[in-house]
Amino acid sequence: MQVTSMVEDPELVQRRRKEIVAAAAELFSKQGFYRTTIKEIASLAGISSGLVYQYVREKDDLLLLVILEVVDAYAREIPPALAGIDDPIERLVATVDAYCRVVDKRRAATVLAYRSTKSLSPDRRRFIQRRELETNQMISAAIADCIRSRLVRKINVDVLTYQIVLIAHGWALKSWYLKTRLSIEQYIRDSLDILLGGILTPSGRRRYAARKSRRK
């Protein structure tokens, strides 16, 4: 599970790993995991191919480290964005905003995570998924808060949480289209407008309510 290194000096291990993982992230994002060779990674990191294996046991380790980087960035960068915000709605908005911005900063890596999580060993995949759930937990908490204060009605928290996660990830996954039409600011604004403003007009609401009672 843990990735082990042959080198003793922990400071050196940290520095070198950072360089290697950065190089790996760049190449994996651009070319994909399987099309990237250790030689390429090493040369981009400015070291020899053999040295990589002093800091990592196998190529798969690099994939784990790269994906972990992304997932941790989410967990690391969202909380500070909420600091000092009390109103539940404001917190929810800030969460969505922060999540989208973290993803925006790491679009390529986010897409990589989607492409490659399945290439991890089952153990490691589960490990990443657990981390992902921890991030989602922050979103769920913000939603639950809103419900507790009666600002949001009792919708399915899991489903809304994933809608938000997917809105954020969607900015990376579909950036080939979205980026040609919107800035991240507009995307966040319009997404929140749909989510919080609701989409129906008063007459739409009447129609929808009628439909619902008909279905009963």
Partner DNA sequence: TACGATTGATTGAATGGTCAGTCAATTAGG
Partner DNA sequence: CCTAATTGACTGACCATTCAATCAATCGTA
User: Cβ of 155: how many Cβ atoms within 10 Å?
Assistant: 12
Helix (H) or strand (E) holding 88: helix 88-105
213 binding its own copies? (CB under 8 A): no
Helix (H) or strand (E) holding 111: helix 107-116
Residues 32, 43, 58, 105: which binds its own copies (CB under 8 A)? 32
Torsion, Cα 88 91 96 99, to 10 degrees, reads -140
User: Cβ of 174: how many Cβ atoms within 10 Å?
Assistant: 11
- Tell me the site size for its own copies, rule CB under 8 A: 57
Rounded CA gap, 68 and 149, in Å? 35
- The nearest distance, CB 62 to DNA, in angstroms, is 8
124 binding DNA? (CB under 7 A): no
Rounded CA gap, 157 and 138, in Å? 12
**Which single residue is written with the structure tokens 């915000």?**
85
Work out whether the CA dihedral 39, 44, 46, 52 comes out positive or negative: negative
Binding mask 39-78 for its own copies (x = CB under 8 A): ----------------------------------------
- The nearest distance, CB 124 to DNA, in angstroms, is 14
Binding-site ranges for DNA (CB under 7 A):
6-9, 12, 16, 35-39, 47-51, 53-54, 58-60
- Contact residues toward its own copies (CB under 8 A) are 32, 34-35, 87, 89-90, 93, 111, 114-116, 118-119, 129, 133, 146, 150-153, 155-156, 158-160, 162-163, 165-167, 169-170, 173-174, 176-178, 181-182, 186-187, 190-191, 193-201, 203-204, 207-208, 211
